[in-house]
Chains A and B, each alone.
Chain A
Amino acid sequence: MVKTLFFLLLFCMVATSAHAGLKVVGKGDNMRYDPSSFPPVMKANYDIMKVKCIKCHTLERTVVAIQTGVAPISGQPFDRNATKAYGVKMLRKPDANMSKKEVKATVELMNWLLDQVNQ
């Protein structure tokens, strides 16, 4: 009985309510968002993210950070303050090849995604 309750509880913790618009597809290095239900502005921002960010790291890193609220490498909280700091960090990398406009777009996208996850 206790075991059954435990598994039921575990199931309830895992099977959460759905967001209509936020879909994660793929595994491991191929993990990414399905932007089909993103608003047009965020779709455009995602187009920038999926081209620019993967030059140095997989989108899995970004997806995990947004979905869990924890940056996977540093283990630090990944919130609105962190998104801008990471954006600035990437902008200043010598080989980032990103403009401020592009960084701003990805920061706005990450903030929007965080809001979606938190709803």
Chain B
Amino acid sequence: MHSQIKIVLLLLAASAFMLVTIENAEAIPAFTRQHKTECSTCHTIYPELNEYGEAFQKNSYVKKTVAKSGAPVAGGEVSGEGDSEQSAKLNSPAATGGEKTKGEEQKAKSNEALLLAGIPDLIPVSFRATQNIVFNNDAADNHKFDFATRTFVLNAGGSFRDMFGFYGSYILDTHAEEEAHVDKLHELFLQWRNAFGTPLNVKFGRFEPRLNLWKANNKITTSSLLAPLSYGVAGTYPYRFTQTSSQDALEANAILWKRLFVAGGIVDRDGQDRKEGYGHVSLKIGGSDLHGNEPEMDLDNESIFDYLTVTFGGFGYVGRNTQNDTASAVKNRFYRAGGDMDLQYKRLRIKVSGVHGWDENPDYSDFAPTERNSVVIGSEAEYYLGSPVNAAALFRYEYLDDGHGITRSYVPAIVYTPLQNVKLSLEYRHEDAETIKRIALMGVTFCF
């Protein structure tokens, strides 16, 4: 017991040391390079998205655009006794959007071919690495300290002339590789944006079907995510389906009336004789709209609604496990139906998710199939400390009833981003089931 306390104190001391010794700096992930903007434009704490990141994602990785007039808005005249060189630069027609210099023209010409071909100027690739130290006093193999839990992922994303968005995520290396069925190609899809001039986007490829408000990596913790997003009904072949599993799918989605998002799709899983289907609808109240436009605000009067943003979502998924999932000819039909809420008020963010599941024969029994209902609820509260210490504290509570038993989990965590592209996290997980499990995890995530 004393040794556990020492270890936790050691981890806390290490975190505190990092909190006071590392300075802030710029970040350089793929979208940052393309759009020359910092990570915090789209992320609260990487990789969790803020509302502009959500809008960017929903708009097929295309920045919000406004029709430009030919002439510059401001005249661009700078003068006085300041820096003459800088003044000249700012006054130049190139800077003000007017006539281009010779150098600018040459640059524009060299980019024209890329523009016409729809090819991004920069290769839109980045990498993400996660390395964890896990302490589990009850480890089955008595391997209490495990330094070997890591993931190294290649990401690619961007848009082709605002018409198509694309995204890819390939797991180059993971400690879980030897665990069953880790698909290295997690995502690779193309989304036709506003097909034929309609609000409809058509997404095709391998991706996480849009069920919940958040994708699997849309979180501030390094490893764990909300239980409804990750749970699988434990049977003979557990965890073949989770709500954030990537699937080969075709999806249509659209932003309607600026604040309503709808999505529906079909999934084709190897080995099955019919398609699976899903649907999602979400409504955002308050905050910027789903295109990233700011709300109207009276700057003379205070109102709590100026800072309050709530998004409600609902989803359903109907599917069946196949021979490819289970190596068994016996099939299991199932459905999941649930709802989410994402609330933000100033520095506080609360996420709640609940799902009801039904499985016809999760144990794949030939002779005595037993139906099973599952109910999973997850909730978490995050509080962003913000500048000058870019850190956040989180507390998560989860209730999981998978039909076999009930597990309650309590997860306090702190995360800290000394740079926008480097995140350190300290997480403790207390699972209260038939036996109590306690796991401490210190992780670092970085991208470049």
Q: Which residue of B lies closest to A104 (CB)?
A: B299
Q: Which residue of B lies closest to A119 (CB)?
A: B75
Q: How large is the interface on B (under 10, 10 to 19, 20 to 34, 35 or more residues)?
A: 35 or more
How long is the Cα–Cα vector from A18 to B178 in the complex, in angstroms?
A: 70
Instruction: Find out whether the CB atom of A77 lies under 8 angstroms from the CB atom of B96.
Output: no
Task: Report A92 CB to chain B, min CB distance, Å.
Answer: 6
User: Of the 9-residue stretches B36-44, B118-126, B212-220, B425-433, which lies at the interface with chain A?
Assistant: B36-44
How long is the Cα–Cα vector from A118 to B86 in the complex, in angstroms?
A: 18
The reply to whether the CB of A25 lies closer than 8 angstroms to some CB of chain B is yes
Instruction: Find out whether the CB atom of B299 lies under 8 angstroms from the CB atom of A68.
Output: no
The reply to whether the CB of A31 lies closer than 8 angstroms to some CB of chain B is yes
Instruction: Find out whether the CB atom of B387 lies under 8 angstroms from the CB atom of A55.
Output: yes
Task: Report B299 CB to chain A, min CB distance, Å.
Answer: 4
Whether A20 touches B80, Cβ cut-off 8 Å, given contacts A14-B91, A64-B90, A68-B90, is: yes
Task: Report B46 CB to chain A, min CB distance, Å.
Answer: 14
Instruction: Find out whether the CB atom of B80 lies under 8 angstroms from the CB atom of A18.
Output: yes
Chain A interface (Cβ < 8 Å from any Cβ of B): 10, 13-27, 31, 34, 37, 55-57, 63-64, 66-70, 72-74, 76-79, 84-85, 87-89, 91-92, 94-97, 100, 103-104, 107, 114, 117-119
Instruction: Find out whether the CB atom of B82 lies under 8 angstroms from the CB atom of A95.
Output: no
Instruction: Find out whether the CB atom of A103 lies under 8 angstroms from the CB atom of B90.
Output: no
How long is the Cα–Cα vector from A63 to B76 in the complex, in angstroms?
A: 11
- Which residues of chain B from 301 to 346 have a CB within 8 Å of any chain A CB? 302, 306-307, 344, 346
Instruction: Find out whether the CB atom of B74 lies under 8 angstroms from the CB atom of A68.
Output: yes
**Ranked 9 nearest A-B pairs via Cβ:** A95-B386, A23-B80, A69-B74, A69-B73, A18-B79, A25-B82, A23-B82, A104-B299, A67-B90
Name the B residues within 8 Å of A92 (CB-CB).
287-288, 294, 306-307
How long is the Cα–Cα vector from A79 to B43 in the complex, in angstroms?
A: 26
Task: Report B300 CB to chain A, min CB distance, Å.
Answer: 7
- Which residues of chain B from 62 to 91 have a CB within 8 Å of any chain A CB? 63-66, 68-69, 72-83, 85-88, 90-91
Task: Report A94 CB to chain B, min CB distance, Å.
Answer: 4
- Chain B CB count within 10 A is highest, among A85, A92, A117, for A92
Name the A residues within 8 Å of B80 (CB-CB).
18-24, 34, 37
The reply to whether the CB of B35 lies closer than 8 angstroms to some CB of chain A is yes
The reply to whether the CB of B93 lies closer than 8 angstroms to some CB of chain A is yes
Instruction: Find out whether the CB atom of B384 lies under 8 angstroms from the CB atom of A68.
Output: no
Instruction: Find out whether the CB atom of A94 lies under 8 angstroms from the CB atom of B72.
Output: no
Please encode chain B, from 278 to 296, with 1 for each CB lying within 8 Å of some chain A CB and 0 for all others: 0000000001100001110
Instruction: Find out whether the CB atom of B300 lies under 8 angstroms from the CB atom of A16.
Output: no
Instruction: Find out whether the CB atom of B65 lies under 8 angstroms from the CB atom of A76.
Output: yes
Whether A34 touches B78, Cβ cut-off 8 Å, given contacts A67-B95, A87-B299, A95-B387, is: no
How long is the Cα–Cα vector from A57 to B39 in the complex, in angstroms?
A: 12
Name the B residues within 8 Å of A91 (CB-CB).
297, 306
A–B pairs, 21, beta carbons within 8 Å: A16-B91, A23-B82, A24-B78, A24-B83, A26-B86, A37-B80, A55-B388, A63-B90, A67-B74, A67-B76, A67-B91, A68-B76, A69-B75, A70-B96, A77-B66, A92-B287, A94-B44, A95-B385, A95-B386, A95-B390, A119-B75
The reply to whether the CB of B99 lies closer than 8 angstroms to some CB of chain A is yes
Whether A68 touches B72, Cβ cut-off 8 Å, given contacts A16-B79, A34-B82, is: yes
Instruction: Find out whether the CB atom of A19 lies under 8 angstroms from the CB atom of B79.
Output: yes
The reply to whether the CB of B168 lies closer than 8 angstroms to some CB of chain A is no
